[in-house]
Amino acid sequence: MKILISLILLTSCSSFNGTPREGKSSYSYADASGGYRLVRESKQIEKKIVTRNQLIDSKSGQSKVLEKSILVSQVGSIKSKSGRLLTVRPLASEFVVWLEGKKYSSKMQLITSNKTMRVTLNSPESKWQGSKEIPFPKGKYFCFFNQIPECLYHNYLLPLANKNENQKFNFFIIWDSYPYLQDQYNYVGKNLFAAATVKYDGEFKKQLRYIVEVEGQMILYTFTKSYDLARIAWIAQGITIVPPGEEIVDE
């Protein structure tokens, strides 16, 4: 999509409140199939948040990309009873995954005229081809799954959860790997949108941990005090993401 290509080529020095930092970060990624390297890159271009993710297999001595995504959201506001409410609006995404050596891709684009997300699929399977528009459910906050750390921060849900430790805050996850995650993960991703909550779980080793609950599963996100992503643990799926060289242990 032209919007994604042009955004990646641009650079910007702007930031929101100076944190979290922009740039590229690498993590050790482990699931039931083995260990990999996850590279995440986030930047802010004017009022747009651009996030890139690559899952890389380096075991053979050569770097092989297993899946990758680009996500673009825009910081804006919506009307509420108390005035204008700051929100992050998902604009577009591209997701590619290789399953059993075959390429599966998904492109999404917000259609503002009818409040839908257009999903365009290209895959070897006839059931996962073509385009369709899926209506947004009623809600204030929407986050692409692979952009949750940036999205929750810019929606101010992370600081808000800190101040209200016993309260869960509602938002919707957009599965940017939809519908292919149905073959990758267990018991999630049947629909494009999934109702979710985020709650502050406390401070551990001078870092802040949050619990995201979605479709009956918990995902633990840990951040530094400047809201840089430190680690992720998706317990039900057996997925752990930690800084390089850090021992992976059960949460």
For 146-165, how does the pLDDT look when each residue is reduced to its tens digit (9 = 90+)?
999 999 999 999 999 999 99
pLDDT digits (tens, 9 = 90+) for 85-105: 778 999 999 999 999 999 999
Give the domain ranges of the chain: 2-242
pLDDT band at 14 (very low <50, low <70, confident <90, very high): very low
Mean of all residue pLDDT scores within the chain: 89
Q: Which one-letter amino acid corresponds to residue 93?
A: S
What does the CA dihedral 127, 131, 137, 141 come to, rounded to 10 degrees? 110
**What pLDDT shows up at residue 158?**
94
3-state SS, residue 189: coil
Arithmetic mean of pLDDT, 242-248: 82
Q: Is the pLDDT of residue 45 over 50?
A: yes
Q: Do 5 and 22 contact (CB within 8 A), yes or no? A: no
d(CA 212, CA 223): 13
How do residues 205-223 score in pLDDT, each as one tens digit? 999 999 999 999 999 999 9
What is the spatial distance between Cα 193 and Cα 145, in angstroms, rounded to a whole number?
10
Within its chain, how far is the Cα of 29 from the centroid?
Answer: 15
**pLDDT for residue 248:** 62
Q: Is 218 exposed, middle or buried (0-12, 13-18, 19+ CB in 10 A)?
A: middle
Mean pLDDT of the region 32-59: 94
Please identify which residue in the block is written with the tokens 């100076």: 18
Q: What is the pTM of this model?
A: 0.89
The pair of structure tokens assigned to 64 is 């092989």
